[in-house]
Amino acid sequence: MAPRAALYVAFFGAIAARSGSAQASPTTPDPATLRRSSFTWTQAEIEFGFGHWDAVFPTRPVPRGTRVRPLPAGKPLAALLPGTPGSEELERFIANEKVAGLVVLQDGAVRLERYALGHSASGRWTSQSVAKSVTSTLVGVAIKDGFITSLDDPVTKYVVGLRGSPYDSVTIRQLMTMSSGVKWNETYTDPTSDIARFYVDPVTPGMNATVSYMRKLPREAPPGTKWVYKTGETHLLGVLVAAATGQRLADYLSARIWAPYGMEQAASWSIDRTNDELAGCCLQAALRDYARFGQFVLDGGRIDGRAVVPDGWFEEATRRRFDTTYPDRGYGYQWWTLDGGAFAGFGIHGQLLYIDRSRRMVVVINSAWPVATSPERSATRARFLKVIAAAADGQSGSAANTAPTRRVAITIDDLPTVSRNFQSAADHDRLTRQLVAALRAHRVPAIGFVNEGKLRRGGAVDAAEVELLRQWTRAGLELGNHTYSHLDLHTAPLADYLNDIARGDSVTRTLLAEVHRQPRFFRHPFLHTGRSLADRARVDSLLSATHYRVAPVTIDDGDYIFAAAYDDALGRRDSVEARRIGDVYIDYMERVFAYYEKQAAAITGRDIPQVLLIHASLLNADRFDALARMIERRGYAFVTLEEALADSAYRSADTYVGPAGITWLHRWALTRGVTGGVFAGEPDVPADIAAAADRARR
Ligand SMILES: [Zn+2]
């Protein structure tokens, strides 16, 4: 984030456009057209480009290591769960502030994780100036490693190219605190400003591009007296660390932090015209790895018990050393210091790494603000950080010890309702009310998959049926596309199926827009995903063009069989039989859970966040409370489908094109060539209930 009168330009990459090609679908901007200042980007280009920075600009990789540090699931922030006022605030914040990724760690566990704008756990987002705090940390590492003797060393001891310039009398500490006294103008709207000229002025041959520019600047104040935000000086710190260590900045970051701390993905660092990292900007990393970096800072820079920075480094680095042009922010060593002992790295267009020591909490936000800086958006974000802090205070401490260890996303198909015997508007309303109330009571952030064909009565959209779906969206629940008429991809012509997807969301889209959301997930009817990879590719390309992601299922079951028998019993007013079916259903579902927990362990080697499929039936409306209690007893927290899919298991290969509508666990196993006994033991629906369902459906 930039100071008041100095809107900070990120990176004029136009000059340094790289020749490599990158893939772009017809609906996404072409990286080649983005090779110009990001300040000229449209909103769509910002949303694409910030998530694909490496495809647009030249970067150097920051490799990860072989080991990944787990980020365990913590207790979800109760005050932000669906159905709460906090949830509405969260959704509003994500939508209005163009949030692409948001994660909250407390005590090292993930208490909230969200993605939007097409970003995901597997993607990288540009840091903009959040990178400054990483560069600062590398100065600390270089001191600990003995490459730099002291922060009070003159800069020119390491960067010889600066000798004979105003930097002769400047110390590393003064660079760290943006107080060199060297004159610099960071107004990006002014083409004659330093930040604009920095990227285009000719480079003195044989000299690093940053040194070449910075050494010509005049002095405006004695060193150590005046704070001015200067991205050029963070670039200089990068040059200094590289010179002192004799290593590329990206390599040093990888070797000392990224690999040993256990980041889950490689990062990348933008490089300048002379192939040096732009240390003041533009590190690209996964959301969770930014969070891990924050946790590393909270941990005092210790990796496996050994400190990689000097003792007390982060206390010193995050102490307020200068007032800034923002009344509520001070400045430390390339960290902004905030009230209440918190500190942060800010980047333009809404990037944030926020660390609250007192709550042992890390908040990372990747965003795509339409503007580089905005006092209004900054204030909104500050207010939202208070909401998160309050939510964390609501249940910290011992809550962490009793946190559920498993996660499951509940997905409910065939909305608005499934019932043979109860078809009146009042019946549908009662079913929906009960199901939504039970979901809310257990704070389940469920998603419902809609067949919009069911909304029609006598050819027209029935307002009462639409109102059923609105009960879902008003409760903060998500809706997805399940095709218009529940077509079967394995029997319908492909063109019909594609058409059924395309016309499957017009009402849903409108309802979601009311709550500032968009449809994001598609569920194949019958879990039939195509009998050939070519068919599947056709479907997938339509889905991705319309920003849909296929919703997988890992826990499949016969709830619809129980539901048919249950519905029939109630239709015959046989409440004793209905109660019995309901009881057997919960027992059966518990065996199903146990089976798929073992399947996950056998196939993925661990407990993964599961995705359960059930239907919007009377049975589930009446019995969801009991079902949820069983699931909770097994140690599950309810998460969104998006959160579940963030797990790396969901990136497993799936080339299954067989006839069955099977779970994704089995698809992954079959794709890997696993066969036979692994799948044994799937619980059966009891024969009498299956027979009753058969009779009812005849
Ligand atoms: Zn269905």
Convert the pLDDT of each residue in 13-70 to its tens digit: 332 333 333 343 445 778 778 877 787 899 999 999 999 999 999 999 999 999 999 9
C-alpha 585 to ligand 1 mean position (Å): 19
C-alpha 486 to ligand 1 mean position (Å): 6
Helix residue ranges per DSSP H, 442-574: 463-474, 494-502, 506-514, 533-545, 559-571
C-alpha 82 to ligand 1 mean position (Å): 24
Q: For CA atoms 158, 160, 162, 164, give the dihedral sign.
A: positive
C-alpha 527 to ligand 1 mean position (Å): 8
Helices 559-571/618-633 angle, 10° precision? 130
Residue 408 contacts residue 627 (beta carbons within 8 Å): no
The per-residue pLDDT for 549 is 96
Residues 6+ apart with CB under 8 A from 57: 11, 13, 16, 17, 18, 35, 270, 282
Residues 6+ apart with CB under 8 A from 440: 82, 83, 475
C-alpha 614 to ligand 1 mean position (Å): 9
C-alpha 523 to ligand 1 mean position (Å): 8
- Asked if the domains at 13-397 and 406-697 fall in one CATH topology, the answer is no
C-alpha 525 to ligand 1 mean position (Å): 5
Residue 450 contacts residue 508 (beta carbons within 8 Å): yes
**DSSP type of residue 694:** H
Q: Nearest 5 degrees, angle CA 687-CA 688-CA 694?
A: 90
C-alpha 546 to ligand 1 mean position (Å): 20
Residue 99 contacts residue 47 (beta carbons within 8 Å): no
- Sheet (strand 99-106) strand order: 109-115, 99-106, 361-367, 351-356, 342-347, 336-337, 330-331, 322-323
The per-residue pLDDT for 404 is 62
**Does the N-terminal peptide bond of residue 29 adopt cis geometry, omega within 30 degrees of 0?**
no
C-alpha 550 to ligand 1 mean position (Å): 14
CA distance 342 to 322: 16
- Enter the CATH code of domain 13-397: 3.40.710.10
C-alpha 637 to ligand 1 mean position (Å): 25
**3-class SS at 328?**
coil
pTM of the model: 0.57
Residue 89 contacts residue 49 (beta carbons within 8 Å): no
C-alpha 413 to ligand 1 mean position (Å): 5
Convert the pLDDT of each residue in 411-433 to its tens digit: 999 999 999 999 999 999 999 99
C-alpha 453 to ligand 1 mean position (Å): 12
C-alpha 414 to ligand 1 mean position (Å): 5
The per-residue pLDDT for 403 is 52
Amino acid at 30: D
Q: What class has domain 406-697?
A: alpha beta
Which stretches does DSSP call E strand in 574-676? Answer: 610-617, 636-639
Question: Of 247, 287, 238, which is closest to residue 267 (Cα–Cα)?
Answer: 287
Mean pLDDT by 10 residues, the chain (698 residues): 31 33 53 80 94 95 96 93 88 95 96 96 96 98 98 97 96 98 86 88 94 97 96 98 98 98 97 96 97 96 93 93 85 92 94 94 97 85 91 58 74 97 95 96 94 92 96 93 97 97 97 90 97 96 96 97 97 95 96 95 91 98 96 91 91 95 96 85 95 91
C-alpha 622 to ligand 1 mean position (Å): 19
CA distance 609 to 592: 15
Which tokens hold the place of 532? 């050939």
Which tokens hold the place of 638? 């309810």
C-alpha 444 to ligand 1 mean position (Å): 20
The per-residue pLDDT for 373 is 85
CA distance 171 to 288: 34
Q: For CA atoms 620, 690, 482, 48, give the dihedral sign.
A: positive
Would you kindly state where each structural domain of the chain is located, as residue ranges? 13-397, 406-697
C-alpha 410 to ligand 1 mean position (Å): 14
Which stretches does DSSP call E strand in 237-278? Answer: 267-270
C-alpha 472 to ligand 1 mean position (Å): 17
C-alpha 482 to ligand 1 mean position (Å): 7
C-alpha 549 to ligand 1 mean position (Å): 16
C-alpha 505 to ligand 1 mean position (Å): 15
Residues 6+ apart with CB under 8 A from 95: 116, 516, 517
How buried is residue 338: exposed, middle or buried, by Cβ count under 10 Å (0-12/13-18/19+)? buried
C-alpha 252 to ligand 1 mean position (Å): 52
How buried is residue 503: exposed, middle or buried, by Cβ count under 10 Å (0-12/13-18/19+)? middle
CA distance 601 to 607: 6
| H or E segment to which residue 99 belongs | strand 99-106
Instruction: Provide φ and ψ at 329, rounded to 5°.
Output: -135, 135
C-alpha 492 to ligand 1 mean position (Å): 15
C-alpha 323 to ligand 1 mean position (Å): 59
Helix residue ranges per DSSP H, 130-230: 131-144, 172-176, 194-197, 209-214
